[in-house]
Amino acid sequence: MSVSPFVLAMALSAAGSFLGVLVASGIYLFGDEARERLVSWLVSYAVGTLLGLSLLHLVPKALETLPSERALGALLLGILTFFILEKLVLWRHCHDTHECEVHNSAASLVIVGDAFHTFVDGAIIAAATLTSPWLGVTTALAAAAHEIPQELGDAAILLKAGYGRVQALALNLLSGLGGLVGALFVYLALNQLPTVLPYVIAFAAGSFLYVAMSDLIPSLHQGHVDVNPVAQVLLISAGLFTLLML
């Protein structure tokens, strides 16, 4: 029995939005040293999945129906948009669970920023799923991979702001609902404007490239790179290999 595009888009968006929270909550049970090392490894793997998804899946798919100037223009718009969002503190990332800045407005910024983050991820996953079910699967995987270290950092900020572990997990799960809202928004919008879909795919490629190269890769140079740079290279390669296999 075939699954409707709507159900598949919502299911994959939910997986991409909530899987990171659930895995992150389990990792938080580890000790500080083990958790920091796991975060470094997860960030490395996420870099590979995001780069592979953007350059090996999303960009080629957009170029199938768009002239290169338009596809790359949409990609550039994605990069610039996420640069602006980061300047507005709506896309704040923190991968160091000890050194995340905490101030009076930090907790509310984390909740709002994370909800917006998952909204965009859900929208991107839905757009990819409507283009191709397998593209939706790879996009959900890449989204979940980079959500895990982010959710760990967000939980650290909430805990330092005075929230309990259960409260921090509940708030992160609540923000994950943004992914379902984003998926529903894209499904309804693209149902009316299907010609926009290739532009959304190219825009998504730019957004994931920005996250990988502006946020994740620099964080690797501040973590365990001096201890085990070979492991980071291998994990980035593993992320790329995962995307090649799907």
User: Which pLDDT score, from 0 to 100, does residue 223 have?
Assistant: 55
User: Which pLDDT score, from 0 to 100, does residue 84 have?
Assistant: 86
User: Which pLDDT score, from 0 to 100, does residue 111 have?
Assistant: 76
Residue with tokens 């946020």: 215
User: Which pLDDT score, from 0 to 100, does residue 61 have?
Assistant: 94
Please write down the HEC assignment for all residues of 143-195: HHHHHHHHHHHHHHHHHHCCCCHHHHHHHHHHHCHHHHHHHHHHHHHHHHCHH
User: Which pLDDT score, from 0 to 100, does residue 167 have?
Assistant: 82
User: Which pLDDT score, from 0 to 100, does residue 97 have?
Assistant: 47
Neighbours of 133 (CB within 10 A): 14
Rounded to 5 degrees, φ, ψ at 87 are -65, -30
Chunked mean pLDDT (size 10), the chain, 246 residues: 83 90 77 76 89 94 95 96 76 51 56 82 94 93 86 74 78 86 92 87 94 85 64 91 83
User: Which pLDDT score, from 0 to 100, does residue 244 have?
Assistant: 83
Q: How far apart are CA 211 and CA 155, in angstroms?
A: 19
Residue with tokens 């090996």: 56
Which residues, 6 or more positions from 147, have their beta carbon under 8 angstroms from its beta carbon?
16, 17, 19, 20, 21, 24, 118, 121
What is the residue-wise DSSP string for 52-89? HIIIIIIHHHHHTTS-HHHHHHHHHHHHHHHHHHHHTT
Which residues, 6 or more positions from 146, have their beta carbon under 8 angstroms from its beta carbon?
20, 43, 46, 49, 50, 211, 212, 216
Please choose, from the candidates 246, 202, 240, 224, the residue with its C-alpha nearest in 3D space to the C-alpha of residue 74: 202
User: Which pLDDT score, from 0 to 100, does residue 194 have?
Assistant: 80
Neighbours of 104 (CB within 10 A): 7
User: Which pLDDT score, from 0 to 100, does residue 225 have?
Assistant: 44
Domain ranges of the chain: 5-245
Structural tokens at position 225: 């790179």
